[in-house]
Structure 1
Amino acid sequence: MSEQTLTEDFKKATAYELTDHDIERAKLMLHVDLASRDQEQIGTASIDNIRSFAYSCGSDNPLFCNPEHAASSRWGSVIAPSMMAGVINRPMLGDPLPEELKAATKSLFRGIHMFISGGEWTFYRPIFPGDTLYSFGGEDGLEVKQSEFAGRSVTRFNSQVKVNQRGEVVSVYRYRAILTERKKARETGKYKDIQPATYTEEDLAHIDEVYSAERSRGAEPLYFEDLEIGSALPGGASGPLTVTDVVNFHGGGYGWVPYGLRSGRMWNNNRKRIAPFYVKNAYGIPDVAQRLHWDSEWAQAIGNPMAYDYGVMRENYLFRYLTDWVGDNGWVFKQYDEIRKFNYMGDTQFISGEVVGKRVENGLNLVDVKVKMTNQRGEETVLCDAVVALPSRDGALVLPPVPLELQTRASKMMARHWELLAGKRKP
């Protein structure tokens, strides 16, 4: 988008500032457990939407995609990639935010650009077809710092507990949301000199080789005893990134909450509801600010050289890599990742990993691994610390137990949900 096409609407959209007032108001929301009222595109897992989500992450792992194969596994059925918990949600009923707190935090960080810079997943139980997920949680941390890319920034830490219809804790996701001023990111121009990636036939042949060597372990066991500290994990890849990848990821269920990608009358109603989220393009058409993930013109207007992925896409690609490695009989217990660089359209991420620790805790055979993504420019874009649980040669896989305090919180929230639901159904 050139200077000539910077409309008054665009200038207005980039005029919102991070204020001390908003930062102080945000602190009021710390450690407030709230039931999530969100209705995601997917509320209940099924064989079909599990397969669609796996495909959207580039995974053809038969445990997720092949019911016949999965039926003979230790799980007896297809299960979802555990990270799919992030896109499955039905509204949980719960006590509302107190009116005074709701009023005090209304329109918090209105018009401020936000992106996810990584997070930490802890997985306790598998998601089966027929499972419905609910969630609760909220902000549990806030940091203010100076950013090279965008001046002052605010990091909000949010934890969401995912619970199934049986009241069992399935997983916990704690993510870091970075809030920056759109105009500041544009003014610094930190990344303006990055050029789009181009590929020779030799470059593509190298990527082909990496992909050809990838495979899902499937039913072949990976035993705890088979690994040594310092052992390298197999190589992997993701990319080159295209707009098609972003479209596929949305098609798998991601990105419809909280803002919503809508069409027709729903688009019209949504932009009236959250007007600052809609910014006119060069043709005068209001479109979502979120389009910086597929519209390079808009991405350039707010300080990036081209469109880029969602950080959570790479989180899912790392999970795909880890689940391929551990196979049907292993379990990815924890995945902590830091997104260090943008993944621009055309970039390829090469994945590598190493075993850095082994231990037995409470009957669990745990293996610590470090994994990273490195792009074609040789830059490390994501660093990941993961913990996997494996079977031993003389014993089956043991799943991690849910901490009592966490399960107690979840049981209390779900009991309140069912109580309120029963009240709504009374004649």
Structure 2
Amino acid sequence: MTATTTTTEEGPAIAKELATGKFTDEMLASMRALIGTNLRTAASINNEYATRTAILRFCEGIGDDNPLWTEADYAETTDYGTLIAPPSFIFACLAGIQVGWPGLGGFHCETKIDFHNPIKVGDKIECRCEFQGFDGPIEQSNFGGRRIKDYILQQYTNQDGELIADFICSRMRFERGEMQKRAETREITVPHPWKDEEIEEIEAGILKEAPRGAVPRYWEDVEVGEEIDVITKGPLGLTDFIAFIAGGSAPIPRVAAHSVSLKRYHKHPKWAFRDPKTHSLEPVYSVHYNDYAASLQGAQMAYDVGIQRTSWQIHSLTNWMGDAGWLKQITGQYRSHVYLSDVVRLGGRIDAKEVDDLGNHIVKLTTWAINQRGQNCMPGTAIIVLPAREA
């Protein structure tokens, strides 16, 4: 594909495709020099405060109506005594941030989060981001040629200096031209050709889903090998993706419009491309709602956001554990795209029951996210603290 650009007197050329770059010795050396750097976050913060409206808007964006985070009257009757946010609300404060790698493509490929304290309504959340380095480059991969995997630590704290969560965000970086060459090897039928009766069955199941809520799930009652309740997301539509953005979870930097975005793109031309149909400038992030942008990334059509998928995983776990449980840790690897029209079923299995060094009664789980093609598009793990009768 040959790049075409537009240039104005006020700014540099902006291509009609996503920026393309190559791994070079100079690039790798400059990135090594950045290891340990605290990154600027001002342009990526979405919510400083966990207001009732911010929490509700985020929950609507991930499809989670648990009354513990959406109904103040109910939340006040729980041990928390107030409305709290779902653990995934950290993404609505600062979803993610990127550093360097000019012109290279990127996918969020893996997440690890340790949760330490709840976010209560009214809390002020701050986030520190540190570039921790990278692995590679691996010279060849079936997915996209040469690639590296980088790591950014995001630490969230509240107004009292209490640590809320540690989030290690790993991204795969690749040369977009090489990814496009391999696009045919990943071709599938999209949109998925659903039948009316299949959709009716899917939606009937979704309407039956409910959080465990106030009924404690005791550690003694959980058996190794037991599977947790399944929740379903989909068939995914454009509004599902837009609602996630509107909920405050668009990262690096915030999505903006008109002169605000135009000034940014003329200052940083590789943040954007010019859509050949609308002639408008679109951010690189639009791969998540713009089919043309997604195709330039080597995908077939618009696809979900990594942290969006993790928010669904957290939804499935908090639904199962109930109000008295505590989600201590999760991991997840993002494998294969989740496209518009896809259906994803999220679940998990209890692998172990233990009492940890702090006396917490914990269960360890393997988690999954299975699409309609039978692919596990997010294998992961979780650790949950459950109430115990003996305690």
Instruction: Name the TM-score, length of structure 1 as normaliser.
Output: 0.83
Q: 1:215-236: CA deviations, max 9, x gaps?
A: 1011011011110111111122
CA contact (8 A) 2:45 2:254 kept: no
Alignment correspondent of 1:87: 92
CA contact (8 A) 2:18 2:293 kept: no
CA contact (8 A) 1:111 1:277 kept: no
> What code does the residue aligned with 1:310 have?
V
> What code does the residue aligned with 1:374 have?
I
Residue 111, structure 1, aligned to residue 103, structure 2: yes
Alignment correspondent of 2:366: 370
Q: How does 1:121-140 map to 2 (within 5 A)?
A: 121-140=113-132
Matching residue within 269, 273, 279 for 1:279: 273
Matching residue within 55, 67, 76 for 1:71: 76
Residue 224, structure 1, aligned to residue 229, structure 2: no
CA distance in 1, matches of 2:125, 2:281: 34
Alignment correspondent of 2:375: 379
Residue 252, structure 1, aligned to residue 247, structure 2: yes
Matching residue within 186, 189, 203 for 2:198: 203
CA distance in 1, matches of 2:121, 2:26: 46
Q: Say which SS state the counterpart of residue 136 (structure 1) adopts.
A: strand
Alignment correspondent of 1:292: 287
Residue 7, structure 1, aligned to residue 17, structure 2: no
Matching residue within 320, 323, 331 for 2:326: 331
> What code does the residue aligned with 1:380 have?
N
Matching residue within 38, 45, 49 for 1:44: 49
Question: 1:354 Cα deviation (Å)?
Answer: 0.7
CA distance in 2, matches of 1:10, 1:210: 45
Q: 1:247-271: CA deviations, max 9, x gaps?
A: 000111011x432311121021111
CA distance in 2, matches of 1:235, 1:12: 39
CA distance in 1, matches of 2:94, 2:102: 25
Residue 194, structure 1, aligned to residue 194, structure 2: no
Question: 1:213 Cα deviation (Å)?
Answer: 3.5
Q: 1:32-77: CA deviations, max 9, x gaps?
A: 4557445622111111111111111110000010111100001001
Equivalenced residue count is 375
Matching residue within 257, 282, 286 for 1:263: 257
Q: 1:65-113: CA deviations, max 9, x gaps?
A: 01111000010011001121122259xxxxxxxxxxxxxxxx8311222
Question: 1:10 Cα deviation (Å)?
Answer: 4.3
Question: 1:327 Cα deviation (Å)?
Answer: 0.9
Return closer, same or farther for 1:312/1:340 CA change in 2, 3 Å cut-off.
same
CA distance in 2, matches of 1:171, 1:287: 32
Q: Structure 2: 5+ residue runs without aligned partners?
A: 6-13
Alignment correspondent of 1:177: 171
Q: How does 1:152-171 map to 2 (within 5 A)?
A: 152-171=146-165
Q: Structure 1: 5+ residue runs without aligned partners?
A: 91-106, 396-427
Alignment correspondent of 2:344: 349
CA contact (8 A) 2:353 2:364 kept: yes
Alignment correspondent of 1:19: 24
Which deviates more, 169-178 or 7-16? 7-16
CA distance in 1, matches of 2:246, 2:39: 28
Alignment correspondent of 2:34: 29
Q: How does 1:284-323 map to 2 (within 5 A)?
A: 284-323=279-318
CA contact (8 A) 1:14 1:183 kept: no
> What code does the residue aligned with 1:354 have?
R
CA distance in 2, matches of 1:288, 1:12: 11
Q: Say which SS state the counterpart of residue 218 (structure 1) adopts.
A: coil
CA distance in 1, matches of 2:159, 2:333: 31
CA distance in 2, matches of 1:294, 1:363: 46
Q: Say which SS state the counterpart of residue 109 (structure 1) adopts.
A: coil
Q: 4+ residue stretches of structure 1 with deviation over 6 A? A: none
CA distance in 2, matches of 1:89, 1:254: 7
CA distance in 2, matches of 1:384, 1:192: 22
CA distance in 2, matches of 1:15, 1:392: 55
Return closer, same or farther for 1:190/1:18 CA change in 2, 3 Å cut-off.
farther
Q: 1:138-160: CA deviations, max 9, x gaps?
A: 12231122332221112111111
CA distance in 1, matches of 2:67, 2:37: 40
CA distance in 2, matches of 1:287, 1:211: 34
Superposed CA RMSD in Å reads 2.0
CA contact (8 A) 2:44 2:253 kept: no
Aligned-residue sequence identity (percent) comes to 25
> What code does the residue aligned with 1:74 have?
D
Question: 1:207 Cα deviation (Å)?
Answer: 0.9
Instruction: Name the TM-score, length of structure 2 as normaliser.
Output: 0.91
> What code does the residue aligned with 2:4 have?
T
CA contact (8 A) 1:296 1:306 kept: yes
